[in-house]
Amino acid sequence: MSLPVTILSGYLGAGKTTLVNQMLRHAQGRRFAVMVNEFGDLPIDADLIEAEGDDLIALAGGCVCCSYGDDLMAALAQMAAMRPAPDHVILEASGVALPGAIAASLGLVSGIETTGVIVLADAAQIEASLANDYISDTVARQLKAADLVVLTKGDLAGADAVAQAGTTVTRLAGDATVIRADHGRVPVEIILNPLRIALPDIGAPHGSGQGLVTSVEVPDKPLDAETYAKDLANRADVIRAKGHVQTATGLKTVQIVGAQWDVSPAPENAQPGVVVIRLQDHVEA
């Protein structure tokens, strides 16, 4: 059986440490192995550490953390040889590393399954980072390699900055899914399987994808479509929505993808109702 590995990337200060600790605190019985470049930058909260060795740290719940230093392949082989083996490896790349190159290297290793690349982007800083001559190329290449981009620190950045960051990241990240997560709150299922996020088609039967919940909202009175769409786009848990709402001047179509939103005239014979796809709330505040 292959050892599943998720690559966690993002420039310095994007929030990788917070995300790793949230994941460990909500492991739900899974044995995670967290791989970091150096123990000097250990991303684990002290209360989660049970024992420390030279090259391996035992964590609560049967999880472990190891340093891969200059030999990532040897460290992965060590993880795969553990008994019992970890259920999943989270490979935290350094802030200046290129996750696309790491994923390409892992693809050559027998017994390793790369489940995807997650790139974190600080909503308050991403525009400045991309405008910086020294780091912009690294940040852009990280985003282009992503299967999933997590916009972090939106609670600090404000709605306008989050919306602008969402537009910028969507442009650079291509087909990657873009979600927002404050305080590192991303469902564990999405961290482990970023390539398998099933975004149900708006016209499909309403069910739940992995780590996602789909519902239908039907406002009970006319409203301002732009305000409604903007409010949905500002919700940290909503990643996509589409449908029709009744306004004072007739039906309008609203579409939301991440922090972006759009309002347009509804087609003929449209019926009120908006399908909303949001992150399942697995993580407690």
Taking the whole predicted model, whether its pTM rises above 0.85 is answered as no
Q: What is the mean pLDDT of residues 39-64?
A: 70
Task: Give the amino acid at 88.
Answer: H
Q: 117, 16 in Cβ contact below 8 A?
A: no
Phi, psi of 191 (to 5 degrees): -60, -40
In CATH terms, 212-279 corresponds, of 1.10.3720.10, 3.30.1220.10, 3.40.190.80, 3.30.1020.10, to: 3.30.1220.10
Dump pLDDT digits (tens) for 16-37.
888 888 888 888 888 998 888 7
Cβ contact 44:36 at 8 Å: no
Q: What is the pLDDT of residue 196?
A: 55
- Tell which CATH classification among 3.40.50.1970, 3.10.20.30, 3.80.30.20, 3.40.50.300 matches the domain 3-196: 3.40.50.300
Band (pLDDT 50/70/90 cuts) for residue 274 is confident
pLDDT at 258 over 80: no
The answer to whether domain 3-196 and domain 212-279 are alike in fold is no
Q: Where are the domains of the chain?
A: 3-196, 212-279
Average pLDDT of 139-150? 93
Give, as one character, the DSSP assignment of residue 267.
P
For residue 222, is the peptide bond before it cis, meaning its omega torsion is within 30 degrees of 0?
no
Is residue 158's pLDDT more than 50? yes
Q: What is the pLDDT of residue 199?
A: 47
Q: 116-141, pLDDT tens digit by residue?
A: 999 999 988 999 999 999 999 999 99
Burial of 32 (0-12, 13-18, 19+ CB in 10 A): buried
Phi, psi at residue 102, to the nearest 5°? Answer: -65, -45
* Average pLDDT value for residue range 79-104: 88
Supply the mean pLDDT for the chain: 81
pLDDT in the model for residue 53: 65
